[in-house]
Amino acid sequence: MASQHSFPRVSLPHDRVVIVTGANQGIGYHTAKWIAMMGATVIIACRSEERAKQAISQMNAEFLEEKKNGTEGLSDLEKLNVSFMRLDNSSLQSVMAFVTEFKVTGLKLHVLICNAGIGRHKQEYTEDGNELIFQVNYLSHFLLTAHLLPIMTTSGPDCRVILVSGAQHQFGHFRLEEIQGKQFKEETFDGLHYYRRSKLYQIMQMFSMNRRLAGSNVTVTSLHPGAVETGLLDAFDPVKIDKQRKEVRFKQPFEGSWTSINAAINPSLSGVRDVFFADSQPSTESASTDARNETYQEQLWEYTLTCLKDFLTDDVIEILTGQSSK
């Protein structure tokens, strides 16, 4: 494994701070582990403290094993600088609590990887009144990013926001009037399509946010990790998944993390924005027509701000409207 990788092994300073959401398992786990093993300070943001602590313990055990095996590019740390902070994307109050907790640490923030997500789901609404997939995969990550941007813009050069999307966004179409899906009955609600739309929104956010951050030290990119064997597949039609497995080789979670890691740490990507990556390669052309439609992007942006109006402070609004000093 050590000889086959598609991300550079670079030395990351201990004071380079990275947040990875949903990092207690799957792609997020390997993303957080490898960035930490290269030396950075990593915060894994997820719901369960117990599962997070188990993940951190496993990361450290695997770190020692990699050192024993002579794996290249590892830091000289004796123990990984990884910690847990609670984040439940189904609750906007939880997002705000996370932001408050992070601010108390006094840490800078250099990389935010919005990785957490759910797959196809039955029709369900959060305590905030939002369609569940829309909020968990997109809206809460938007709120988290918005509140962390004031910290990132003062954290030095080359700060990056990475939105983990997917190729499924190509099958999702933007319909502003259907975002919450409340006009559908439970039996006619298409959870797969709402999953696809949530992945579409992340790419649209990339373009919209970069317009507001033009000239700043913060860049936003998005990516497709590939077809990966993770628990997320449980939410999809098992017959179709089995058929796909016969047609293409699904990646293991470690392989699925490569594109996220590359986007987060590759020195050659400093200052790169508005790029959609697939298999660690720039693939903006594969972003769908809807994703690249600026009118749709701005409609989504305005709707998003309306959904979050009770959670946005003046300093955040200044950045989101492009009015803050760069």
Domain boundaries, the chain: 17-318
Q: Which of 148, 127, 1 has the alpha carbon at shortest distance from 66?
A: 1
C-beta of residue 81 within 8 angstroms of C-beta of residue 18: no
Q: Which residues are catalytic?
A: 195
Chain position carrying tokens 């960035």: 35
Give CA–CA dist 155/110, Å, rounded: 6
Report the b/e string of 6-15 with b at 16+ CB within 10 A: ebeeeebeee
Predicted pLDDT at 237: 55
DSSP-derived pairing of the beta strands 276-278 and 281-282:
antiparallel
C-beta of residue 199 within 8 angstroms of C-beta of residue 171: no
How many other C-beta atoms are found inside a 10 Å radius of the C-beta of residue 150?
17
How many other C-beta atoms are found inside a 10 Å radius of the C-beta of residue 107?
15
Give CA–CA dist 319/301, Å, rounded: 13
**DSSP per-residue codes, 156-214:** -S-EEEEEE--GGGGG----GGGSS-TTS-GGG--HHHHHHHHHHHHHHHHHHHHHHHT
Tokens of 108: 């800078």
**How many C-alpha atoms does 102 have within 13 Å on its Cβ side?**
29
**DSSP per-residue codes, 37-54:** HTT-EEEEEES-HHHHHH
Predicted pLDDT at 244: 56
Predicted pLDDT at 10: 95
CATH 3.40.1190.20 fits 17-318, yes or no: no
Instruction: For helices 140-152 and 191-213, give the axis angle rounded to 10 degrees.
Output: 20
Give CA–CA dist 311/318, Å, rounded: 14
Q: What is the pLDDT along the chain (326 residues), one digit of tens a residue?
A: 333 457 899 999 999 999 999 999 999 999 999 999 999 999 999 999 999 999 999 999 999 999 999 999 999 999 999 999 999 999 999 999 999 999 999 999 999 999 999 988 899 999 999 999 999 999 999 999 999 999 999 999 999 999 999 888 888 999 999 999 999 988 899 888 999 999 999 999 999 999 999 999 999 999 998 655 555 555 555 555 555 555 555 667 678 899 999 999 999 999 999 999 988 888 766 789 999 999 999 999 999 999 999 999 999 999 998 776 54
